[in-house]
Amino acid sequence: MSQPTNEQEIGERFRALEDGSEPVASSQLRRFVRDRAFVQAAPLPRTAAAACPNPFRRAVVGIAAAFLLVIAGTGMWLSLHGPINGENPTASPTESASPSATSSASAEATGSPLGPTDSPSLGPTDSAYPDPWTTYSFRPAPKLSPVAIAGNATIGTRQRTGSDKPTNLQWDFFEPVVATPGRGAGAAINSSVQALFDSRVAELQQEFGDPQRGGPPEHTVTLITSFAVLSSAGPRSDPSAGFVSLRIVYSFNNPPWADAGPQYIDFLVYDLKTGKRISISDLFTNTAAALQRLSAAAAADPGITQWTYPGPPTTGYEPTPENFVMWAPTRSGLQTTFGWLQLGSAVSGTPAFTVPWSQLSDLFKPNSYLAWYAAALSSSTAYPSGTLAYGTFGLTGSMLAPEGTLTTTLLQDGRVLLTGLAAQLYDPSTGAFVATGQMPNVRSGQTATLLQEGEVLVAGGANSDGTAFDASAQLYDPKTGKFTATGSMTSARSFQTATLLKDGRVLIAGGNDTIQVVNSDGSESPINELASAELYDPKTGKFTATGSMTTGRAFHSATLLTDGRVLIVGGSSDAPVWSAPGAGLASAEIYDPSTGKFSATGSMASARSSDTATLMKNGRVLITGSVSWGQSNGAAEVYDPTTGKFSAATLSATGGTEATATLLQDGRVLIVGGFGAGLYDPQTGTLSATGSMVISGYPKSAVLLQDGRVLVLGGEATGAAAEIYQP
Can residue 345 be called a binding residue for another protein (CB under 8 A)? no
CB of 45 to another protein, least distance (A): 5
Can residue 27 be called a binding residue for another protein (CB under 8 A)? no
CA nearest to 527, candidates 500, 499, 554: 554
Asked whether the bond before 310 is cis by omega within 30 degrees of 0, the reply is: yes
Q: Which of 23, 86, 115, 211 binds another protein (CB under 8 A)?
A: 23
Q: Which of 63, 296, 600, 648 binds another protein (CB under 8 A)?
A: 63
Q: Which of 86, 124, 311, 522 binds another protein (CB under 8 A)?
A: 522
625-684 positions binding another protein, by CB under 8 A: 627, 630-631, 657, 674-675
313-342 positions binding another protein, by CB under 8 A: none
Parallel, antiparallel or unpaired: strands 169-179 and 221-233:
parallel
Q: Which of 294, 399, 458, 527 binds another protein (CB under 8 A)?
A: 527
Can residue 67 be called a binding residue for another protein (CB under 8 A)? yes
- By beta-carbon proximity to another protein, the closer residue of 102 and 692 is 692
Q: Which of 20, 27, 48, 86 binds another protein (CB under 8 A)?
A: 48
Can residue 311 be called a binding residue for another protein (CB under 8 A)? no
- By beta-carbon proximity to another protein, the closer residue of 77 and 129 is 129
- Indicate the SS3 state at residue 252: strand
Name residue 334's beta-bridge partners.
Answer: 329, 355
Which residues, other chains included, contact 653 with Cβ-Cβ below 8 Å and sequence gap of 6+?
A: 134, 135, 136, 137, 138, 634, 675, 676, 678, 687, 689
Can residue 438 be called a binding residue for another protein (CB under 8 A)? no
Note whether 388 and 102 are within 8 A (CB). Answer: yes
154-213 positions binding another protein, by CB under 8 A: none
118 torsion bin: left (phi>0), alpha (psi -120 to 50), beta (else): alpha
CA distance 555 to 233: 46
CB of 483 to another protein, least distance (A): 24
- By beta-carbon proximity to another protein, the closer residue of 50 and 432 is 50
CA distance 157 to 556: 40
CB of 612 to another protein, least distance (A): 16
Can residue 59 be called a binding residue for another protein (CB under 8 A)? no
Q: How many of the chain's residues bind another protein (CB under 8 A)?
A: 100
Can residue 382 be called a binding residue for another protein (CB under 8 A)? no
Distance between start and end Cα atoms, the chain: 53
CA distance 147 to 154: 5
CB of 129 to another protein, least distance (A): 8
Can residue 716 be called a binding residue for another protein (CB under 8 A)? yes
- By beta-carbon proximity to another protein, the closer residue of 142 and 715 is 715
Q: Which of 99, 316, 445, 478 binds another protein (CB under 8 A)?
A: 445
- By beta-carbon proximity to another protein, the closer residue of 24 and 382 is 24
- By beta-carbon proximity to another protein, the closer residue of 112 and 253 is 253
CB of 554 to another protein, least distance (A): 8
Note whether 287 and 321 are within 8 A (CB). Answer: yes
Which residues, other chains included, contact 278 with Cβ-Cβ below 8 Å and sequence gap of 6+?
A: 243, 269, 270, 271, 369, 370
CA separation, residue 467 to residues 354, 408, 474, 510, 565 (Å)? 45, 24, 19, 20, 35
CB of 313 to another protein, least distance (A): 13
Q: Which of 515, 561, 600, 648 binds another protein (CB under 8 A)?
A: 515
Note whether 491 and 471 are within 8 A (CB). Answer: yes
CB of 312 to another protein, least distance (A): 13
Q: Which of 93, 108, 133, 648 binds another protein (CB under 8 A)?
A: 133
CA distance 91 to 236: 22
CA distance 258 to 56: 9
Note whether 362 and 336 are within 8 A (CB). Answer: no
Can residue 558 be called a binding residue for another protein (CB under 8 A)? no
Instruction: Label residue 257 exposed, middle or buried (CB < 10 Å: 0-12, 13-18, 19+).
Output: buried
Can residue 619 be called a binding residue for another protein (CB under 8 A)? no
For the window 384-413, what string marks contact with another protein as x by the rule CB under 8 A?
Answer: ------------------------------
Residue 654 DSSP label: S
Stretch of residues binding another protein (CB under 8 A), selected from 53-61, 93-101, 103-111, 191-199: 53-61
Q: Which of 1, 211, 379, 382 binds another protein (CB under 8 A)?
A: 1
CA distance 119 to 676: 23
Q: Which helix (H) or strand (E) holds 191?
A: helix 185-208
Stretch of residues binding another protein (CB under 8 A), selected from 81-89, 392-400, 530-538, 694-702: 694-702
CB of 651 to another protein, least distance (A): 16
Stretch of residues binding another protein (CB under 8 A), selected from 159-167, 382-390, 483-491, 691-699: 691-699
Note whether 569 and 611 are within 8 A (CB). Answer: yes
Note whether 623 and 646 are within 8 A (CB). Answer: yes
230-269 positions binding another protein, by CB under 8 A: 259, 261
- By beta-carbon proximity to another protein, the closer residue of 180 and 606 is 606
CB of 404 to another protein, least distance (A): 10
Q: Which helix (H) or strand (E) holds 521?
A: none
Name residue 670's beta-bridge partners.
Answer: 662, 679
488-507 positions binding another protein, by CB under 8 A: 494-495
CB of 165 to another protein, least distance (A): 23
CA distance 215 to 42: 38
CA distance 72 to 77: 9
Asked whether the bond before 699 is cis by omega within 30 degrees of 0, the reply is: no
CB of 80 to another protein, least distance (A): 18
Q: Which of 111, 312, 326, 348 binds another protein (CB under 8 A)?
A: 348
CA separation, residue 686 to residues 118, 120, 342, 654 (Å)? 8, 9, 35, 13
